[in-house]
Amino acid sequence: MDNYPLLNIFWTMLELFLWILWFFLLFKIITDIFRSHDIGGWAKAGWLILVILVPLIGVLIYVIARGKSMGERDVAQAKQSEAAFKSYIREAAADGTPAGEGPPGGRSHVDDLAKLAELKSSGAISDEEYRKAKEKILA
C-alpha cells in the first residue's frame, strides 16, 4: 500500500467512473439512434459509423445536433410505459374473477381488498374503479 498513495487511488477511481459514464453515454446514443423514427436507415448508418469510428467527436456532434429530440423521445417512452402500466392495473383490478377462484395459492378477500386499497392510495386507479372492483370482490 505504500507504493500506491491515496491521491493515486482517487485518480484511478475517477478515471474508472469517467469510463463507466462514457460507455453509458455511448450506449444511450446508440440506442437512441435505433429508436429514432424521424431519420432513415442511411442516416442511422451514418450516425453509427461516426459514433463508432470517431467516438468522442461523434458523440459530441450527436448530442449537440439531436440532444433535444433525444430527451423528447425519452419522455415520450416514459409516458407510454406509464400509460401501459396503468392500463394493466385497471384491467387487473376490473378483471371480475372472484378472489377464491383466481391464481393458484388461493388469495383471500382481505388480500384483494388490501391490494385495491394500495392501488387507490397510489393513484393508479380512481375512486370509481376502486368502488367497482371492491363490489366485485365482495359479491
pLDDT in tens, 9-41: 889 999 999 999 999 999 999 999 998 888 899
Q: Is the pLDDT of residue 100 over 80?
A: no
Rg (CA), the chain: 25
Q: What is the reported pLDDT for 103?
A: 47
Amino acid at 70: M
Q: Domain ranges in the chain?
A: 1-66
Q: Is the pLDDT of residue 115 over 80?
A: yes
Average pLDDT, the chain: 83
Contacts made by residues 84-92, CB under 8 angstroms, sequence distance 24+: 86/124, 89/119, 89/124, 89/125, 90/124, 90/125, 90/129
Amino acid at 39: I
Cα separation, 29 vs 48, in Å, equals 9
pLDDT in tens, 69-98: 898 988 988 999 898 888 888 887 776 554
* 73-90 CB burial, b ≥16 within 10 A, e <16: beeeeeeeeeeeeeeebb
pLDDT in tens, 53-73: 998 899 999 999 998 889 898
The SS3 of residue 12 is helix
